[in-house]
Structures are given as structure tokens and as C-alpha cells.
């Protein structure tokens, strides 16, 4: 193995160690309670070395949850947007994936969605990471909108354009997640009910 390749592998290994340590720290203490000193100590790297990889705690938080948040969420949705799926199956599968992943599984994924626009995080976040996070969310919304708009052209659905339906669905899922985080554990059970109300309102047979 050449020197360049060895250094590249060592650099990659250090970054992975930092990310693993950050996931543990954020999961245990949350964003506010975690310090870069703690992350560096757990990863066994100097604080100065940590700054070579991430500009701030906000950048670290966003970067690891882009990789271990949006990427995981997007993979979970792959089947949801397969060609030929009905609008109803797409909407219900989206809400199911959101519930299983963000509410019942890896709650740190939802923490990213929830906290990204917080002032203390967003203020320190690099423009590149902020733009990438927005792009990932817009991609999910666009795929939902595309399914709805295609159904509208076939008169299978009526009502608002796909973009607005996608925003309504996302806002509803996030709102339910807020309630669950606030201690209203039973709120997760109404997620499917809410999607039913949304779909019934779009169905021409019910107009």
C-alpha cells in the first residue's frame, strides 16, 4: 500500500470514528448537552484534529445525520415510490416508513429534521450543509408531489397540486412526531388516521 493510499485510509478511519462517537454522544446527551471535547475524547482524537473534519458542532451534527439520517430515510422509502404504485399506497407507505423509522426506530433521524432550523444550529451551519439538507428534503417532497400530480392528470385524485399535498403530509408527520416527543405517545397511532383523512379529501369518489 502506497503512502497516499495509507493516509487516505487513516483519514477515513478517523472520520468514521468521530461520526460513531458523535452519534453516541448526541443520543445520550442531545445536541445542547454534547461538547466537541467529549466527542473527541470518545473518538480518541485531539480537538484540533476534529476541527480538520468538521467546522463546528452544528456541522458535525448535520453531517452525521445527512449520512445516517436522510440516507437511511431515503433508502427506507425506495419501495414507496416504485413505478405503478397507487396514490393511496404511496401516501400510506410514506407515513408508515416515517413512523417506523423516526418514531419507533432511530429517533435521532427525526431529531435532525426537528432541530435543523433551530437558530443555534442553523446560525453556525455551513451554507453547503444547509443547502444539502434542504435539497434532500425537497427530493422527498418532489417524489410525493409527482405521484399526486400524475394521479390528478388521470382524475384519480382531485384537490390541491402535488406540491401542496406533499407539504401537508410532511407537516402532519412532523406535527405528530412533535407530540410524541412531548410525551403524547398515543399520537403515533393517529398517523394512519390522518393520512386516511387526507386521502379521502383528495378522492373524487368522496367529493
What's residue 33's pLDDT?
Answer: 86
For residue 16, the domain's CATH number is 1.10.10.60
Taking the model in full, what pTM does it have? Answer: 0.75
What's residue 82's pLDDT?
Answer: 77
Give pLDDT tens digits for 134-175.
Answer: 888 898 899 999 999 999 998 989 989 999 999 999 888 888
Whether 192 and 104 share a structural domain: yes
Distances (CA, A) of 144 to 92, 108, 165: 11, 23, 8
Whether 48 and 70 share a structural domain: no
Whether 111 and 65 share a structural domain: yes
C-alpha cell at 115: 432541530
SS (H, E, C) 138-156: HHHHHHHHHHHHHHHHCCC
C-alpha cell at 79: 419501495
Whether 158 and 184 share a structural domain: yes
pLDDT above 70 coverage of the chain, percent: 87
- Give 207's pLDDT tier (boundaries 50, 70, 90): very low
What's residue 112's pLDDT?
Answer: 61
Helices 57-65 and 36-43 meet at what angle, rounded to 10? 60
Q: Which of 87, 125, 108 is nearest to 201 (CA)?
A: 87
For residue 168, the domain's CATH number is 1.10.357.10
> What range does the domain containing 63 cover?
58-206
Q: How far apart are CA 192 and CA 15, in angstroms?
A: 39
Whether 26 and 125 share a structural domain: no
Q: How far apart are CA 31 and CA 42, in angstroms?
A: 16
What's residue 116's pLDDT?
Answer: 59
Whether 49 and 63 share a structural domain: no
CB atoms within 10 A of CB 86: 11
Give pLDDT tens digits for 73-82.
Answer: 788 787 788 7
Whether 90 and 145 share a structural domain: yes
Q: Which of 12, 18, 3, 6 is nearest to 61 (CA)?
A: 18
Domain boundary among 29, 53, 77: 53
Amino acid at each position: 500500500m502506497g503512502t497516499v493510499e495509507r493516509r487516505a485510509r487513516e483519514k477515513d478511519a478517523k472520520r468514521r470514528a468521530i461520526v460513531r462517537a458523535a452519534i453516541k454522544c448526541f443520543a445520550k446527551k442531545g445536541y445542547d448537552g454534547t461538547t466537541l471535547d467529549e466527542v473527541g475524547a470518545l473518538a480518541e482524537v485531539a480537538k484540533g484534529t476534529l476541527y480538520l473534519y468538521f467546522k463546528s458542532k452544528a456541522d458535525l451534527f448535520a453531517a452525521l445525520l445527512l449520512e445516517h439520517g436522510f440516507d437511511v430515510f431515503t433508502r427506507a422509502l425506495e419501495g414507496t415510490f416504485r413505478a405503478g404504485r397507487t396514490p393511496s399506497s404511496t401516501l400510506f407507505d410514506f407515513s408508515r416508513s416515517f413512523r417506523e423509522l423516526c418514531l419507533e426506530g432511530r429517533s435521532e433521524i427525526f431529531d435532525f429534521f426537528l432541530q435543523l432550523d433551530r437558530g443555534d444550529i442553523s446560525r453556525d451551519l455551513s451554507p453547503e450543509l444547509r443547502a444539502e439538507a434542504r435539497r434532500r428534503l425537497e427530493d422527498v417532497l418532489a417524489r410525493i408531489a409527482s405521484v399526486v400530480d400524475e394521479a390528478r392528470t388521470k382524475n384519480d385524485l382531485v384537490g390541491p397540486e402535488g406540491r401542496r399535498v406533499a407539504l401537508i403530509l410532511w407537516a402532519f408527520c412532523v406535527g405528530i412526531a412533535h407530540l410524541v416527543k412531548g410525551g403524547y405517545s398515543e399520537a403515533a397511532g393517529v398517523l394512519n388516521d390522518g393520512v386516511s383523512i387526507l386521502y379521502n379529501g383528495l378522492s373524487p369518489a368522496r367529493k
